[in-house]
A and B are shown apart, each in its own frame.
Chain A
């Protein structure tokens, strides 16, 4: 990595500090490996925030109030284009942990949210996305019991909840009856109502209750996607008791979620069928994911042959589709669980449910306790996500590729390597 200063003409002759990272070009079939250079950071003060930077507050130091200056990438409007952004993280309260972010996965949700795709969860800008966050603890509040500086830590989609309702008490914080607080694009009503900012940034402050321990056996970068993609499929597998060995398990869609679902199913001893629109994914599904069966959903003959063969299906597809296409694959009492959220209503005919007492369910990420259980499970079974590591400055391009499903299987931002020098921890 090299760093030097250039003069930018576009920005009106301001001085920019630019870092470059040389990354090997991803190997494409039949092509040679090239090196390509991606600008890592544009850490200019003047680009963005109203807040003027004050020398001396960087380098991870605290402002007088105890609040911490933080640097990240944010979307500013519905174009979803992301640019550097600096903001403050709250001071550690007694129950809080502050950590230096090392890696952050790029989830499909990020793509939807930066573009304000969801009526139900309107975007507020500037938005710092990222809810697959891992890092190293740098400071803990006085009441924190289970973390100390230097520990490996993770944060997923949930950064707070009421802590008192039935669901919270059962550690199903994602269904909190009052309100769960999302890690980004939300307001933390339990603290001061200020906006939440996600993991495309250098620092994070999180109440201990919502912090996860990343087991030593897991690589930090490939563990990041477990915090959303992983738990999203693990939770319904547990909740619906899919893990009884020998059951036939199907997964629709072979993106990040589908990949994780197949990995878990294998570790749980299930028979795996991958259902996909792309015949091109068959080989990988069979060889690296050990799928027992691969069904091309656009081929009526293959779909017919697979009728009534599956006990459970996890449907990861977020594009519009009809349930009636997949329900016949289920045996009697079979369940199909949606984890993607198509924007348009889904259809299913009562007869395809009745005729074999099938049901369509949904599932949203997982609770904190369950997420920790999943991480430990992953460490035991050596399960982690296959990732493509990128510098933060590549994020806009990554979003374009993600929209085309051109990633195997998850982009993970190397936040630490992308952090401008003045925001790096003091060694």
Chain B
């Protein structure tokens, strides 16, 4: 593992010079930063910085030198086509599947060198579709998030139970507390996993498609929860496949494709046709939301004249 200064990777508006062929021209006129969030920039020593993260399997590089930054107290969206490596990257950052190469620094700490339990107190990962056949109640499932905070020989304390209750409330799952996890719908389970991650009281929250299975109201609720967490100082990095959800809520986005960063920066500067079209192979128009002023993307399959593939 190479050592490097924690502050080396930084958010570059537009593209990262990550060594790959840049997709045609730079976005001609970066969209004007929307009112509010995009303008906020944190000093670079807070938040998450991954540098040259690589992970391969069977001689194929799934992550090929990924560098990304997720500033502190902000919501960063991790975007990319199916199979581009979003889940793998989140697992690498979380230390679940440590990368073959590269470094991950959070708030000045080398996450990959941190002890397991210290890391589990620092960050939480909400994965996709984690289910169980065991008869475990929602409240007990959320209490699991307290395991890294107490001795392995001890049981949950009253304070742990209270933290779990608060996490359930915050994730909008309080009424599920006494249900069995195995009897929940996909959307309800997703909220329970969010609550479990919140019970871990992380400073860095990683989420893998947290709005999967959710109806539109629940999607917006989840994104609002992520926003309030960020406002409370949590660094949030969420893999999303819905570009419009990212457009509506993320402060920053990182777009990856085939294990490489294609573009990163403030949301309105990355979600532009010049970047989206070659990455996803669709034609794309960006409108303004009439009320929020944030970008709204519309897609069609028609080939775009002049776009380079």
Report if A and B associate in a common complex.
Answer: no
Q: Report B's interface with A, CB cutoff 8 A.
A: none
